[in-house]
Amino acid sequence: MRKFIAPILLSLFGLMTMDTNVRIVAAETNDDDKRDLPGLVDKTEKREEFVYGVNAYNGTLYQGVFHPPSVDTIYLLADTINIISPRKTLIYYWAVTNEYKADFDSMNEDLPGALEIRLNGNLVLTVEPTDYVIQYPEGITQGAAEVYLGGAAQRKYGEWEEALKAYRLEVSEYYEASRNWRTELTDRVQSGEVTSEDDVLVSQPMRPADFLYSSTKVFRGVPLNLPSGKYDIQMRNDEGKIVADSVKKLVVFQSDRVGVGYTVIPEDKWTTPEQTYNPGEMLYVRSNNTLYLEPFFESEYNEQYFTHLEAPQAPNFVNSDWKWVKEDNFKISGSSRWGRSGDAADVTFIGERRPGRHINDEGIGYDMQVIERGMIQDPIEFEDYMVRQNPGQALGYEILEAMEGLSQGMRERAPDFSAFEIVVRRSLQDLQVNLQGDDGAILGGSTRTVDVVRGTGSTNLFLALILPIALGILMVGYRRYSLKIHREKLASATIENS
């Protein structure tokens, strides 16, 4: 709680805009809120409106949002495919969240026509709607999103359906095999053939890997891939007329900076990690502590733009700041090798390059370079870690290297996290860490300074107040003293004169 008092105080003096903390996020387009509060349903009036449904790429995945007539600007990331879908639907005002919602279930009409994009008043692009599908071959939470347009959309959607069908078949076969295996196992146990657990495990059927491949249905929309700039957007229907409420501003932006953030896990509080986004930020740490640093790629955007990309109806920012956005695109080689066999191979931390954005090349492994007082120390390697709960009365846990964990019988588990380990000794001074690639280059924006806090928040800090108090006493005292001396001098001069 303590660390939140300061920003609130700061906001009072305008040093931080309060609205960043109270922003309404996520413009969901379903009626969940309303269903939670049935008493309010009748009060909402639905009306037919033109809206833009937008699948906006946020650097990690596609965010589905819609822009009612009350929103005058659409925000999109530059140099990525975004899908804009002109629709006629029913919208209603939802006072609970202070925003409009769309009832796409009741009405979701495609509008014939084309989108016109203007830059400085000149028409630069006219695009007609096409079929599209958005897929995440490695799952929504990891890997890249893929967008397929036109015929490819239908084909890829078909492939996804086939893959799903195959997965379901595999699962079905797995359950069948499992049933058979249990039956066989029961028989063998009863007959006394099975003597060790290992025998059983070896012959157990393998569960198919989770089906992470994800896909939207095939929809119609207008794909846009624009360089950064401030455009105007409008829809012209088949009759050549501008559709009412379709004229909006279109802000296409890119990140201001890219960097590497870290999730920092303190050894003694691994469930409450902190995150550091700002390159060059200080990590103030208590001495005699061990930290685990999990790196991630990140991009910094204009906060106003990015917030409205994800939540178009959020209030406008008065003072737009910058916002770091975590992008989980560091990959770890060898992670798939974790299985029940327990033969974990060496793990390498691999950075992935997105053209023009990060300085590291795909496939380069990284170590953590540590510089103490200007001297380069031994590099720290990226390791997998497991957390073992201590049994019995001694509540707590310990963090073990994965290999060590395996030797302690935690074979069924994948590592809990992978990170660089920094042991913070009290003697550490001026410590700087960054990521250094195999090619010797430092990964841009990966530097952090670790400052070991040796003191505590004790009352000794108030000793600093002695200085202004003493100075005040000295100056005021000097003034009084000099006046006294002057007065005495004058008095003696007066006596002499008289």
Rounded to a whole number of angstroms, the minimum distance from the CB of residue 69 to another protein is: 9
Question: Does residue 119 sit in helix, strand or coil?
Answer: strand
Cβ proximity of 132 and 54 under 8 Å: no
Q: Which residue, 17 or 63, is less far from another protein as judged by CB?
A: 17
Nearest to 115 by CA among 148, 85, 90: 85
Cβ distance 83 to 64 under 8 Å?
no
Q: CB-wise, 5 or 209, nearer to another protein?
A: 5
Residue given tokens 């070991």 in the structure block: 452
Least spacing, CB of residue 328 vs another protein, in Å: 18
Identify which of residues 100 and 231 has a Cβ nearer to another protein in the complex: 100
Least distance from C-beta 49 to another protein, angstroms?
Answer: 11
Residue 215's closest CA among 102, 306, 331, 131?
A: 131
Q: Are 230 and 250 in contact (CB under 8 A)?
A: yes
**Residue 381 class from Cβ within 10 Å (0-12 exposed, 13-18 middle, 19+ buried)?**
middle
Residues 127 and 149: their CA atoms lie apart, in Å, by: 13
Question: Please, which residue, 252 or 283, has the CB nearer to another protein?
Answer: 283
Smallest separation, CB 313 to another protein (Å): 11
Q: What's the min distance (Å) between Cβ of 285 and another protein?
A: 5
In whole angstroms, give the CA distance from residue 198 to residue 426.
Answer: 46
| Beta carbon of residue 409, minimum distance to another protein (angstroms, whole number) | 29
What 3-state class would DSSP assign to 273? coil
- Least distance to another protein, CB of residue 317, Å: 9
Distance of CA 19 to the CA centre of its chain: 20
Least separation in angstroms between residue 42's CB and another protein is 15
Of 141 and 492, CB closest to another protein: 492
Comparison of 209 and 467: residue with beta carbon closer to another protein? 467
Residue 127's CB is within 10 A of a number of other CB atoms, namely 15
Q: Which two tokens stand for residue 142?
A: 């990891």
Minimum CB distance to another protein smaller for 184 or for 321 = 321
Close Cβ partners of 374 (under 8 Å, ≥ 6 residues apart):
430
- Closer residue to another protein, CB minimum distance, 51 or 83: 51
| CB-nearer residue toward another protein: 19 or 310 | 19
Q: For residue 86, count CB atoms less than 10 angstroms from its CB and return exposed for 0-12, middle for 13-18, buried for 19 or more.
A: buried
Residue 435: count other Cβ atoms within 10 Å of its Cβ: 28
Considering the complex, what minimum distance in angstroms separates the CB of residue 330 from another protein? 18
Nearer to another protein, 282 or 403 (CB): 282
The nearer residue to another protein, 17 or 73, going by C-beta atoms, is 17
Spatial CB neighbours of 498, under 8 Å, sequence gap ≥ 6: none
CB of 103 to another protein, least distance (A): 15
Q: Closer to another protein at the Cβ: 203 or 429?
A: 429
**CA proximity to 292, closest of 373, 412, 377, 402:** 402
Find the shortest distance in angstroms from Cβ 474 to another protein: 9
What whole-number distance in Å separates Cα of residue 304 and Cα of residue 310? 10
**Residue 245 in contact with residue 50, Cβ under 8 Å?**
yes
**Distance separating alpha carbons of residues 296 and 259, to the nearest angstrom:** 9
Length of the chain counted residue by residue: 498
Nearest CA-CA partner of 133 in 179, 66, 83, 171: 83
Min dist. Cβ of residue 452 to another protein (A) = 8
Phi, psi of 470 (to 5 degrees): -65, -40
